[in-house]
Amino acid sequence: MIELNINGRTQSVDAAPDTPLLYVLRDHLAMNGAKFGCGLGQCGACTVMVDGDAVFSCLTPISIVAGRRIKTVEGLGTIENPGPLQRAFIDEQAAQCGYCIAGMMMRAQALLEKNPSPSDAEIRRHLMPNLCRCGTQMRIFRAVRRAAQAMQAGDGASERSRA
Amino acid sequence: MKSCGAQRNALTRREFLAASGALVIGFSLAPSSLRAQKPPGPKLPGSLDANPMLDSWLRIDADGGITLFTGKAELGQGVKTALIQIAAEQLYVSPQRIRLITADTRQTPDEGYTAGSNSMKDSGTAIMNAAAQVREILIARAAERLGVAADRLKAQEGAVVADDGRRLGFGELVVDGLTKVRADGQSKLKDPAAYSIIGKSMSRVDIPAKVTGGAAYVQDLRLPGMVHARVVRPPSYGARLRELQTAAVEKMPGVLKVVRDGSFVAVVAAHEYEAIQAMRSLAAAARWEERATLPEQAEFYAYLQKLPADIIVDLDRQAAGSPGARSFEASYRRPYQMHGAIGPSCAVGLFKDGVLTVWTHSQGVYPLRKSIAEMLRLPEDRVQCIHVEGSGCYGHNAADDAAADAALIARAFPDRPVRVQWMREHEHQWEPYGPAMLTSVKAALDSAGNIVTWDYEVTSNTHSMRPGGAGNLLPAWHLETPFAPAAPKPIPLPEGGGDRNAIPFYRVPSVHVVHRFVPAMPVRVSALRALGAYMNVFSIESFIDELAQAAGADPVDFRLRHLDDPRARDVVSLAAARFGWASYVRAPGRGRGFAFARYKNLAAYVALALEVDVNREKGSVRVVRAVAAVDSGQAVNPDGIRNQIEGGIIQSSSWTLHEAVEFDTTSIKSADWSRYPILRFPEIPESIDVHVIDRPGAAFLGTGEAAQGPTAAAIGNAIAYATGARIRELPFDRKRVRSAIGV
């Protein structure tokens, strides 16, 4: 049994230590967010966050993420109460088929947690590992920019309320 | 229409109703054999003509719940949302009240394939008319119940309301058989001027689940007791399995069964990763006999030109009058290009009590059912295919093949749902590609610089090898008793396949268009978004620019003076104006390009102006900004149209700048994204603006594929404008661009 900390919850998983995190999330834990795209780290559909960094879960064995903070798109909010990044993707209608979107969002989330006000060029560069075949990149880009603004405004608001 | 078949359906429906406990206007699914017997009369609108019973489109429950049925599938193009908008508008209810069931052989009408940008024309038109008629029936029923004239009643948010304030909910008006009537196509449609839902952008109903980790895809299906399977694909098209030792793999952790039938090999395991590991071990243990079945890629276009071809004359119009003063010619090439779904194809199969159920992201559940039934030698009524969304497909990709895999494995491992997903290398190497194509064109200008003759030839394979039978399902080729692919057929105009959009939309007195249809298919091909229109529009619109240059005319003016259709002129003028075409100032390394097409010459009009930046040292080309104008007729969800056109521009930019399938004489070498690179995020334009020209009340014009051709041509034209180099072979990758501009 390996203990994984996923979206703030500790979960015990009975899987071989070399099993990629992707399959444990999807198959053992019945989570949909991370997607199988290539298994090669070429497309980013499986992207999740580990200790704040975006990683390819298809290439990450569970043995090396035990006890580390894993975050998936399910950890950003819910359909009833979407988080700021999810809200921005809905507001911008930033999906066609949507298969790449959870991976895009987790890579974007990793950027915004480190750099709350990235430049346009930084957003584009940062999202390079993730492929979208429907050609939704313009909207994805706008959604990330919108989320950055919303998160900053939100932080400002909560700081003011604390003051 | 009474027959055994119809009665059987009616019984099934009653059983279903008994089980659900609802009083409903059920549904009628006439078997296709009955549809041929439709009574004489005017053609009904859209898919109503093939599926005329109203209750096969709309069901109203006793509790007032409204269920809408479509035979079309959500592919990420937003069709669910648009169809709901149409029904809501005609029923005078808010869209949230409507539940939509998509392509499912157990419950929806058979609308063939979700393809060809036909969903709005087929299903949208059918639903609009069906919903209007259902509304009239409900109002007539309320008039009877309330004892007032129908013109004193109106539908309002799920009820029929009288001018004296009395109201009856839709559910209260339902009696069995109320809408078990044939559509007449005569009901009064809502006045487009009064539309409050159609023509307004509506948030897509499928997006919230997709951004929150909801179960949105067939890949996310987890049925009770489900197991996982993987297929061991042959290494190449001509490979046959000679030997396979399975004993070691059968002892691996989690492995439940190894399935083998001829050269078809699959493994079933409890967990997904166990299935993958077992598949890898089986692949390593398998001994294949391979054959060189492919031509040399370096000489491929000459090979394609020499393959035997059937000559189809698409148009031969010879006008009397002056021969051209000056003539010009050019030829163009397009390689094999792939759909390249981000999510490899997937399906879930369950074989239980002699019935096979397949959950699939196929574009055509009914044709797939027929094909799978043939492959398994089962009666069709023992096979059910249910569409569940998958990763975007952009045409006929491996979705049906994965469904066939699931069917074969489920039959060999009955009573438990079997989920099978393809590996990346399988998707890349085995999906049916968009065909390689050759075009050539000769045209003459008169002394005033107008086109007077146009002679065009397109050489292509078929653009549809969709499953209309078992032989078009990949795994069926590998069985001990294999099925051979059906003989390829050209898709006739006006839709067209290789010759889709081969006839120029411009006014030219003498036009000769020939489709050289090549039956032999060394590489597996089928329908890729826009089919031949991508290449034909690229060729025509590149050549139009060449002719404009020869005539000393501005490319936009030159197009306008050869366009009579006012709607075509409107999109051209609007795109040029919003781009700032007339005032464009060329910066070093930059260039502007323009293109126009009416998709299939009968669907949406798209004009596109864009600017490229050409890096001379690297040979790299980037689209800096793009402005499109689109006329889709009555726009239902304008933001949905914009999303499709934006996506089409980016996807086609990727095809045009980067993509070509590579092969040697034995196998496909483009096995993953490193060997088949596509556009990545830093290359996206700074802006794409899409201007939708709404035509309230006009027919829906298919849009989803309309940007593919114009984008390719506009990029080529912009490169020519920026560098002086005209490139006539796709893709415009770095090597080709450097060589063209002489770096």
Q: Which residues of A touch B344 (CB under 8 A)?
A: 36-37
B288-326 pLDDT, tens per residue?
999 999 999 999 999 999 999 999 999 999 998 767 789
Helix (H, G, I), strand (E, B) or coil at B227: strand
> Please, what's the b/e burial string for A88-110 (b: 16 or more CB within 10 A of its CB; e: otherwise)?
bbbebbbbbbbbbbbbbbbbbbb
Cβ proximity of B358 and B103 under 8 Å: no
B341 reaches A (C-beta below 8 A): yes
Q: How far is CA B61 from CA B29, B51, B133, B159, B162, in A?
A: 18, 21, 17, 13, 22
Q: Which residue stretches of B206-271 are H helix?
A: 207-211, 247-250
Contact A82 B678 (CB under 8 A): no
Q: Which residues of chain B have pLDDT under 50?
A: 1-27, 29-37
Contact B213 A39 (CB under 8 A): no
Across the interface, of A20, A89, A135, the residue whose CB is closest to B273 is A20
The per-residue pLDDT for B32 is 43
Q: Which residues of B touch A39 (CB under 8 A)?
A: 276, 423-424
B687 → chain A, closest CA residue = A138
For B360, other C-beta atoms within 10 Å of its C-beta total 31
Q: How far is CA B341 from CA B395, B464, B678, in A?
A: 10, 18, 11
B428's tokens: 């890349």
Q: At what angle do helices A137-162 and A84-91 cross, to 10 degrees?
A: 140
The per-residue pLDDT for B175 is 86
Cβ proximity of B541 and B596 under 8 Å: yes
Contact A39 B341 (CB under 8 A): no
Kindly state the percentage of chain B with pLDDT values over 90: 92
The per-residue pLDDT for B13 is 33
CA B433 from centre of chain: 14
Cβ proximity of B538 and B729 under 8 Å: no
What is the distance in angstroms between the Cα of A34 and the nearest Cα belonging to chain B? 8
What is the distance in angstroms between the Cα of A40 and the nearest Cα belonging to chain B? 9
For B446, other C-beta atoms within 10 Å of its C-beta total 17
How many Å apart are CA B344 and CA B276, to the nearest integer?
14
Torsion sign over Cα B12, B15, B19, B25: positive
The per-residue pLDDT for B23 is 31
Q: Is B481 exposed, middle or buried (0-12, 13-18, 19+ CB in 10 A)?
A: exposed
A84-117 pLDDT, tens per residue?
999 999 999 999 999 999 999 999 999 999 999 9
Cβ proximity of B452 and B510 under 8 Å: yes
